[in-house]
Every structure is written in C-alpha cells, then in structure tokens.
Structure 1
C-alpha cells in the first residue's frame, strides 16, 4: 500500500495528491491510522439501476432510490424508489415501490431527466432529493425534495417550482444519523449540497464542483424552502447559519485534479483528463467512532474524508485508485458512493460501501445493481 501526504482542509485550497498506485493512505490524517476499501463488490442485493442513495427506516428496512433502470421491478424508469430487506449485506432482497412521475418532476426540459441524490428517514417519514440532470450527465440546474408518509409507495412535492435552481445547491444528500435519524443531536435535518453538477462536468459546460456545502432545516419543515439555513462559517467553535444561500461557506474545498492531461488521463476514461474529486456521495455519522464520513469519487478513484462535526474540518484519509479502463470483476471502482448506516459495525471499524459501474462506460464490465464492498478503518 503506497503512502502519500496531502492536505484537504475545510475552507482552503488543497494540495495535489499524486497518483501512487492502487491505494494511498494519507499520512497527514491524524484520526485514522489505517484505512482500506475492497477492490471489488462483495455483496449484491440485485436490482437494476445506479446511484441508490439510501436510508435506514424505523421499520428496520433500507429504502433506496435508483436511477435509469428497472429497480427490482419490470419497468424501466429514470428514477424509482425501493425497499431492501435483510439483516446483513449477504442476505438482501428488494421490491420497487414507486417510479417516474409518481416520484418527482423534471423542471428543466426535454434534455434532462430525474436522478435521486439523497434519502432520509425521520419520524417515520421518507424524504427523497430529486435532481434534474442533463441527459449527458454534465449539468444539474435544479432540484426538489419529495416526501412519503407511507414508506415509499406515494410521494408528494410542490409541483409549482423546484426548491433549488440556478445550478446552486442542486445535488442534495442528507446527513445519515442512523435508523430513523435516531442519532441526530437536535430537531434539525442536515443536508449537503454541490453546485453546478453531481461530479466533474466532462464537457466543462458548467464549473466542476470543488466545494461541499451544508444546510439545516427543522425536521418538521424539510419541504419548506424558506425554513432552510446554510452554514456560513464559525464563531469560535460554534457554527453560524444564514437564511441567505449566498452567505454559505464550504465545509470542504478540494480542487485536486487527478489523471492530469498529458499523463495519459485523456485516453483512459469517458471523462478524459483532470478529474475533479468532489462528487455526489454520502455523509454518514459513524457513532462508535464519533466521526462523520464523506464518501466521494472520480471516474477512476474513491476519495474518503472524515470530520469531527457536520461542518468539518473534513480531511482526506484514503484515496483509492483503480487505474484506467478496462476494469475487471476482480478490481473496479464506481460512482454514487454511499455508506448504509445499517451495516456499520458495533465498533465502527467496518462499513459497507455502495457504488456502481455503468454498462454505458468503456470499463469492460458493469455493476449496475445495489452492490456493496467493505471499507475498514483503524485508529
């Protein structure tokens, strides 16, 4: 396992992490002594689709939303919601509950469809963040949040306008505080957001996301846009919040570019060279370790960050490089990285990561279902 040093500090420009082989444990990270993620999937629930943002509900089930697939049903849809049952990653089964127009609205016209970016269960109700994504995956101008009071079978949202638009805070994923949000420290829901796109905009039609933002909203008012407040920095150790989205301050800024042009990057991947590292993933509270884990990715790597509070400072602790395409079933990365809180071990040192490989990519293989692999850490 190769070792490199790097800074990925909240609110400042990070220094580049060189590509150093299959894994790079960041030796400047003071919290984790060791970290490793499996080279390939180890457990599959099945289904058909990608992304699978998920939450652990009060009934003990995982609810997960898929994009561009059949889910666990028979019909293709750009978005769908599923329930996944089973007490461990090796014994999961799923059922599709709702899809397409029953879940959300496309706001931005015929060149866009709906993508799920975050799920939450709080007080027994489910919330789903739904994004408009351009059909070539390179622009995300709008997003809204749908709500279900019957465990995913029917959904409601404001049909008049998106909650977020103008490419601002349009990739939304909720902070996962465990089963039915039982670990939440207060009566707020916390949500992270990216501007412009869900990952590197491969054609540069919008700026690549380099900042991770944070908001909060009373759990009784999640769909009320006027109730949202945005992290605006700190006063001493205390966070400041502002109702004005223009006051927001990033909890993580990382402008590293991996696989630089001229170093083979332009010939190895759909995205070409200079892959930005902040992407749609998840932030989960690892209660046994009292740590917040953000899982991100590039076309060819996984990027893992940790923080002591929801507002940071987030620091990189592991970069996993799977190398250029083609991949194999024995060694492959993925996108849409999430950690289901249900499968965090009692000591917090083992987690399970969900990620997908699209059959549309020239990877030589695909993983297009709810698929998990181990992430392990040591203090």
Structure 2
C-alpha cells in the first residue's frame, strides 16, 4: 500500500506557539530549546487502525503494531503486526501486514470484553519484541501485559503462554527506548531500557484505576527481555548522577512525576521515548485527549523537562488542525541533523472529534 499525502499548505503549517528553555544540560549534551509541531498529519499510509508502536530493524524496515483495525492488510483484528518501508518525506511509504490476533499475543483477563493492545516495540540484534497489554472494554484499565518475540522479522512470534509478565496493573503499559536502527545507539550494550505506566495507558476517564501521573523506567539484559525476573527498575531520584536499580518492582520510583491536568486529564500517557544522538538527549512524546505533550532529558532517568504542551482545543476539531493520541517519534524518521522528525498519532472515529485520523499517519515536528 502506498502513502497518501495531504496538501502542501498543511505540510508547512506549524504551530506558532514555541516553548523556550534555558540552555542548560549535562555532559556536553545539547538541550532541546524549542519545538514546533504541524497542525495535522501530512504523510498518511493507506491503512486502518491506531496506536502503531514501532521499531527500526536491522533490515532497514520499520515494524509497527496497530490496534483495532486491519493495519496494512485486509484482516481486521484487535492487534496486527506490519512491516513499513520508505519515508514520509517522499512518496514511497508502503506497508504490509504480517500477522494478526492470536499470532501475536493473548488476552489474560477472563472478564468479557477485554482485548489485546500493542504498547511498545523493540528491535535489537535482529530480534523483534512486542509489548502487549490487556485493555478493558471501556479503555480505562490495563491489568496485564507480556512481551512476544520474533526471530524471523515478524513472521512468527513466541511468548510464555502460562502467565503474563506483569499483572495487577503494575507496569502494564510498556514501551522501549528507541535507540535507532537495531538499537545500535544504545549507550549500554548489555541492556535495553523500557518505560512504563501503572494502571492505565492514559487518564482513566471513569476513575476505574488511579490516573497515571508517574513514568517508570526499567532495564533488562538483551538476552532476557522476556524474563520478568531479570528486569531491574529505577529506584533513585529523577536525574541522579548515577542510577539506582532494584529487582523489586514494588520498590520502583518514577523518573518523571507530572500531576498537571489539562482539560481535566492527566498528561502522562502511552507514547514513546526516542534518543537523539546529536543532542545527546531523550524525547518523550505524550498526550491527553486534546493536547500533545513533549518532554526532554539528558539521561533515560531524567531529569525530564516539559518542552511543549500544544493544545488543539476541545472537540469538535476541523480537518486543518487536529491533535492525536498514542504519540511516537520513530527514530527512522528523524533527520540526520535532528532538526526535523515525524510524529505518529491517531484520532478514533469513535470519538466526537468531528474528524478522524485512524491510520498510520505522520506529522512534522521541528526542533530549534
């Protein structure tokens, strides 16, 4: 399937509001001092679904999993794995569906109505990993999560079918730090890093669980990603000179706490963390129902600073300015100078937004 592109006027439309930061940082890194974001997605893959966590693999393809749709294929499911090639900056963005539903994971919760949702992906040493959570039918609780593995670039997947890796709503929304193609830019060759939320993937609209206001960090040896007993959790203060780790998930401490509410909703949600090697900084993309939230940090454990809170206003939206959820910035789509990058986000047709963006859709983000 080929990319569909919006009008050039939309491509150039960047928000005027830019948040400036003081020029401070650690270890020679270059803080992100200004961010602007396009009003709409402008590079749109002809596909169906939302969420789209992704990773850049050793074969130069982007692997991305969508929820509730057919992805780049023809079979509708609660979860689909896709292989995407090309670039949003040109007309060669294309995709194919590789697996659906039971090929990729299982629902652990016995209560009716729960479905599988992809929350994170990792490509490292030619192996793909996919984090999958159980999500309640009202989208307000995520009680379980596990990680599937593929050694053949998404053709087949394996996981422990006896029990989820994480349960009771503890670290059940998981995504991995994006360190470039096949994680080649990770600073620690032995480990990979993962971020997580407790309870829910975003503000729990019905307050079925506590709204997430804390972002957690974990690390795990590359050889043991699927072994929950091998995971270590950050237990220090955000931005400590030296990180402190614990094997006790109950003793984990947040690397970011943000209790702000925008339009009544908390601002920490399922998103992505992308490493920018030229800046030597990390960029966390988050969102609320009506806003896009961006944070930056010099280390995986912080300190994290808000660099953008872009308010698209409450519904209804119009086609020339829309927000979106499940925001990620794939490292494959970051320019060499890191001045331009592309963010994926979605708007569900089930929402009273007045518009929809229920496909693999990218918009430009520019750093000053």
TM-score (norm 2): 0.91
Task: Determine the structure 2 residue equivalent to 1:138.
Answer: 140
The correspondence for 2:341, drawn from 351, 354, 360, is 351
Size of the aligned set, in residue pairs, is 344
Whole-Å Cα distance in 1 between the matches of residues 17 and 209 of structure 2? 30
Report which of the two has the higher share of strand: 1
SS at 1:284 equivalent: strand
Whole-Å Cα distance in 1 between the matches of residues 16 and 137 of structure 2? 31
The correspondence for 2:203, drawn from 153, 176, 200, is 200
Whole-Å Cα distance in 2 between the matches of residues 184 and 330 of structure 1? 37
Whole-Å Cα distance in 2 between the matches of residues 63 and 225 of structure 1? 23
Q: Give the root-mean-square deviation of aligned CA atoms.
A: 1.5
Q: Verify the 8 A CA contact 1:23 1:321 in the aligned structure 2.
A: no
After superposition, residues 325-364 of structure 1 pair within 5 angstroms as 325-364=315-354
Task: Determine the structure 2 residue equivalent to 1:214.
Answer: 217
After superposition, residues 73-152 of structure 1 pair within 5 angstroms as 73-90=73-90, 91-109=92-110, 110-152=112-154
Task: Determine the structure 1 residue equivalent to 2:3.
Answer: none
How far residue 28 of structure 1 moved from its aligned partner, in angstroms, is 6.0
The correspondence for 1:161, drawn from 151, 155, 163, is 163
Task: Determine the structure 2 residue equivalent to 1:295.
Answer: 285
Q: Verify the 8 A CA contact 1:48 1:72 in the aligned structure 2.
A: yes
Task: Determine the structure 2 residue equivalent to 1:59.
Answer: 59
How far residue 87 of structure 1 moved from its aligned partner, in angstroms, is 3.8
Which structure has more relative contact order (CA 8 Å, sep 6+)? It is 1
- The 3 A distance-change label for structure 1 pair 93 and 23 is same
How far residue 23 of structure 1 moved from its aligned partner, in angstroms, is 3.9
Q: Verify the 8 A CA contact 2:43 2:88 in the aligned structure 1.
A: no
Q: Verify the 8 A CA contact 2:316 2:354 in the aligned structure 1.
A: yes
Task: Determine the structure 2 residue equivalent to 1:43.
Answer: 43
Higher mean alpha-carbon deviation, 92-101 vs 233-242, is at 233-242
Task: Determine the structure 2 residue equivalent to 1:264.
Answer: none
How far residue 35 of structure 1 moved from its aligned partner, in angstroms, is 1.2
Q: Verify the 8 A CA contact 2:106 2:116 in the aligned structure 1.
A: yes
Q: Verify the 8 A CA contact 2:177 2:195 in the aligned structure 1.
A: yes
Task: Determine the structure 2 residue equivalent to 1:25.
Answer: 19
Whole-Å Cα distance in 1 between the matches of residues 166 and 32 of structure 2? 36
Residue 229 (structure 2) pairs with residue 226 (structure 1): yes
Task: Determine the structure 2 residue equivalent to 1:263.
Answer: none
SS at 1:220 equivalent: helix
Q: Verify the 8 A CA contact 2:119 2:175 in the aligned structure 1.
A: yes
Whole-Å Cα distance in 1 between the matches of residues 114 and 354 of structure 2? 27
Q: Where in structure 2 are there 5+ consecutive unaligned residues?
A: 1-14, 25-30
1:3-32 CA deviation, whole Å, 9 max, x = no partner?
xxxxxxxxxxxxxxxxxx984625568533
Residue 253 (structure 2) pairs with residue 252 (structure 1): no
Q: Verify the 8 A CA contact 1:46 1:370 in the aligned structure 2.
A: yes
Whole-Å Cα distance in 2 between the matches of residues 22 and 334 of structure 1? 18
How far residue 34 of structure 1 moved from its aligned partner, in angstroms, is 2.1
How far residue 348 of structure 1 moved from its aligned partner, in angstroms, is 1.1
Whole-Å Cα distance in 2 between the matches of residues 216 and 322 of structure 1? 35
SS at 2:235 equivalent: strand
SS at 1:311 equivalent: coil
SS at 2:131 equivalent: strand
1:282-314 CA deviation, whole Å, 9 max, x = no partner?
001011111100000000000000000000000
TM-score (norm 1): 0.88
Whole-Å Cα distance in 2 between the matches of residues 107 and 89 of structure 1? 40
